[in-house]
């Protein structure tokens, strides 16, 4: 995926002026939180499930290397193989080598954020391998040539009319109609079916990797992941190293937290555990099974102050509750991961200098932390990243000057009184002259969509002093 996260402000302006996007995002940010809340209301033990999941993930992170070794052994015992990829290029290279070894020319894919991280589709197509995304949302954006805009609903930014128009352009429809959503789903299924039957290899992600038996937990609502895993002769699983859970019981707890937080479901339509290739007596399944574990900055994260980000289960709840995401959508964030979790993960995975604006894409309302099932302190991480950016000299010079001036004023009462007095007079003047305000460089962004209110005639301090003087006058009488 092309990296544009250094231009978050520019991308946001484009998104804010997109009249089609606004109602779609408004609907997403309303119905997904409502579904989540309804599911949680039916689960009195939800808070204790969260505590369990957080403690379990922290335990895995404490013993990550041991669990990685045990998982690898468990997969090998069941006839599979585990590969380790330090970065995106390593993962893509391993996938290409496995495809070459199996003579695979046609690949079907289930939804995988790791595949987006490594830009796997481009690597496969560059090697002359045909790739077909089989998750409906991923299929739509593959046809549109766009990146995903939401981690659980890649095409949530598209309206029904846009999808119908896209299919009309890309498909040879013949007699088939696209009048309603079921017809559009049938149309996508019609196109995907042949792809499933012809594929040489299937690539899927994983929602959890179970150490005790080497199983891969795959959670979907369309069943496409299961077809990718069972029909082709080669199954490749790609996942981040943080996906490990010690036992099936832990996977089950994580599954309960994930489904409720992501889509407000008590359980997903399909949840499957795979371990290893087809065994001798089995009638179907792949003949080769490979798991590729990606680091891509995760070990560095684990060693530092952003360790809790590795608890993330990619449920998307923080996106659905974020006022910034609600207005600008996922593409504004410019990389694989949008919303609050993306504003933390993107700088950590691609470098803060490549995403300097993202840690500031936050109103500090705290809703992301409240809703995150894994209790990740997202606002705190965003503050830490701003601090890191200032320390590294990445923060733009004007911002540093502004913050330096504010700090000097906060430290000195007389300077604070002087500067707030000047600011109050200036705001009183500008509040009465909105046209002029729109021409002031530092204020332009704030007043583009709203008017600047003129301050009260008297400050709180002067009122307070007047009241105190009145009281002491009363005592003297
Ligand atoms: S940060 Fe939390 S809420 Fe956001 S995707 Fe990850 S687990 Fe879900």
Domain match, 291 and 417 both? no
Q: What is the count of structural domains for the chain?
A: 2
- The pTM of the full predicted model, rounded to 2 decimals, is 0.89
In this structure, are strands 130-133 and 215-220 parallel, antiparallel, or unpaired?
Answer: unpaired
* 3-class SS letters over 327-388: HHCCHHHCCCCCHHHHHHHHHHHHCHHHCCCHHHCCCCCCHHHHHCCCCCCHHHHHHHHHHH
* Nearest-10 Cα torsion for 372, 375, 381, 382: 20
Q: Whose CA is nearest to atom 4 of ligand 1?
A: 318
**Dihedral sign, Cα of residue 197, residue 278, residue 242, residue 84:** negative
Using the predicted structure, report yes or no on whether residue 357 has a pLDDT greater than 80: yes
Compute the average pLDDT of residues 384-391: 94
Q: Please work out whether the CB of residue 237 comes within 6 Å of at least one atom of ligand 1.
A: no
CA 374 to ligand 1 center in whole angstroms: 7
Domain match, 225 and 90 both? yes
The predicted pLDDT at position 324 comes to: 96
260 vs 266: CA distance, rounded Å: 6
Does residue 238 sit in helix, strand or coil? strand
The predicted pLDDT at position 82 comes to: 98
Structure tokens at 341: 């979790």
Q: Specify the ligand 1 atom closest to the Cα of 315.
A: 8
Mutate to test the pocket of ligand 1, among 261, 315, 316 (most ligand atoms within 8 A of CB): 315
Measured N-to-C along each axis, helices 21-41 and 248-263 cross at an angle, to the nearest 10 degrees, of 130
Q: Specify the ligand 1 atom closest to the Cα of 371.
A: 3
**Among 253, 272, 299, residue at a domain's last position:** 299
Q: What confidence tens digit (pLDDT) does each residue in 12-51 have?
A: 999 999 988 988 898 889 999 999 999 999 999 999 999 9
Q: What confidence tens digit (pLDDT) does each residue in 71-85 have?
A: 999 999 999 999 999
The predicted pLDDT at position 237 comes to: 98
Q: What confidence tens digit (pLDDT) does each residue in 156-195 have?
A: 999 888 999 999 999 888 878 888 899 999 999 999 999 9
Closest CA to 228 of 192, 262, 263: 192
Residue 250 counted as domain residue: yes
Residue 56 counted as domain residue: yes
Q: For all residues of the chain together, what is the average pLDDT?
A: 92
**Among 266, 299, 332, residue at a domain's last position:** 299
Residue 277 counted as domain residue: yes
The predicted pLDDT at position 1 comes to: 52
Residue 167 counted as domain residue: yes
Per DSSP, the residues of 21-34 read HHHHHHHHHHHHHH
- The CATH number covering residue 88 comes to 3.40.50.10420
Cβ contacts of 444 within 8 Å, gap of 6 or more: 438
Compute the average pLDDT of residues 276-302: 95
Q: Please work out whether the CB of residue 345 comes within 6 Å of at least one atom of ligand 1.
A: no
User: Tokens 């003087």 label which residue?
Assistant: 469
Q: Please work out whether the CB of residue 231 comes within 6 Å of at least one atom of ligand 1.
A: no
Does residue 235 sit in helix, strand or coil? strand
* Nearest-10 Cα torsion for 171, 176, 177, 180: -80
Residue 67 counted as domain residue: yes
Q: What domain range is 440 assigned to?
A: 413-476
Q: Please work out whether the CB of residue 93 comes within 6 Å of at least one atom of ligand 1.
A: no
Domain match, 169 and 294 both? yes
Residue 123 counted as domain residue: yes
Tell me which H or E stretch contains 239. Answer: strand 234-240
**Dihedral sign, Cα of residue 196, residue 119, residue 236, residue 103:** positive
Using the predicted structure, report yes or no on whether residue 388 has a pLDDT greater than 80: yes
Residue 97 counted as domain residue: yes
Mutate to test the pocket of ligand 1, among 49, 258, 261 (most ligand atoms within 8 A of CB): 261
The predicted pLDDT at position 443 comes to: 76
């Amino acid at each position: 995926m092309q990296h544009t996260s250094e231009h978050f402000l520019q991308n946001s302006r484009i998104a804010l002026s997109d009249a089609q996007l606004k109602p779609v995002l408004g609907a997403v940010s309303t119905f997904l939180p409502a579904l989540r809340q309804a599911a949680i209301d039916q689960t009195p033990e939800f808070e204790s499930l969260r505590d369990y999941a957080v403690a379990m993930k922290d335990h895995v992170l404490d013993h990550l290397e041991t669990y990685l070794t045990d998982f690898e052994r468990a997969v090998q015992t069941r006839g599979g193989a585990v590969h380790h990829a330090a970065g995106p290029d390593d993962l893509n290279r391993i996938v290409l080598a496995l495809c070459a070894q199996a003579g695979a020319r046609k690949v079907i894919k289930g939804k995988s954020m790791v595949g987006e991280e490594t830009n796997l589709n481009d690597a496969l197509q560059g090697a002359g391998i045909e790739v077909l995304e089989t998750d409906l949302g991923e299929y739509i954006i593959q046809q549109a040539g766009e990146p995903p805009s939401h981690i659980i609903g890649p095409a949530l930014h598209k309206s029904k009319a846009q999808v119908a128009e896209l299919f009309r352009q890309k498909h040879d429809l013949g007699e088939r109609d696209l009048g309603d959503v079921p017809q559009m789903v049938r149309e996508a299924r019609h196109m995907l079916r042949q792809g499933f039957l012809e594929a040489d290899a299937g690539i899927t992600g994983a929602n959890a990797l179970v150490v005790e038996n080497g199983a891969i937990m795959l959670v979907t609502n369309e069943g496409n992941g299961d077809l990718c895993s069972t029909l082709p002769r080669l199954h490749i699983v790609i996942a981040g190293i943080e996906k490990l859970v010690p036992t099936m019981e832990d996977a089950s707890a994580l599954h309960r937290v994930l489904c409720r937080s992501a889509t407000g479901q008590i359980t997903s339509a399909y949840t499957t555990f795979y371990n290893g290739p087809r065994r001798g007596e089995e009638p179907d399944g792949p003949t080769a099974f490979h798991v590729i574990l990606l680091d891509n900055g995760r070990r560095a994260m684990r060693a530092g102050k952003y360790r809790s980000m590795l608890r993330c289960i990619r449920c998307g709840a923080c996106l659905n509750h974020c006022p910034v995401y609600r207005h600008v959508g996922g593409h504004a964030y410019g990389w694989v991961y949008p919303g609050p979790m993306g504003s933390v993960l993107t700088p950590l995975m691609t470098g803060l200098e490549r995403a300097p604006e993202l840690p500031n894409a936050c109103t500090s309302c705290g809703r992301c932390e409240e809703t995150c099932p894994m209790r990740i302190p997202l606002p705190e991480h965003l503050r830490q990243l701003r601090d890191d950016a200032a320390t590294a000299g990445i923060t733009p010079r004007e911002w540093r000057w502004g913050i330096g001036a504010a700090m000097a004023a906060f430290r000195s009462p007389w300077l604070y009184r002087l500067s707030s007095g000047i600011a109050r007079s200036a705001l009183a003047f500008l509040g009465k002259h909105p046209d002029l305000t729109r021409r002031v460089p530092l204020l332009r962004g704030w007043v583009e969509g709203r008017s600047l209110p003129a301050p009260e005639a008297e400050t709180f301090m002067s009122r307070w002093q007047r009241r105190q003087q009145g009281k002491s006058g009363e005592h003297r009488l």
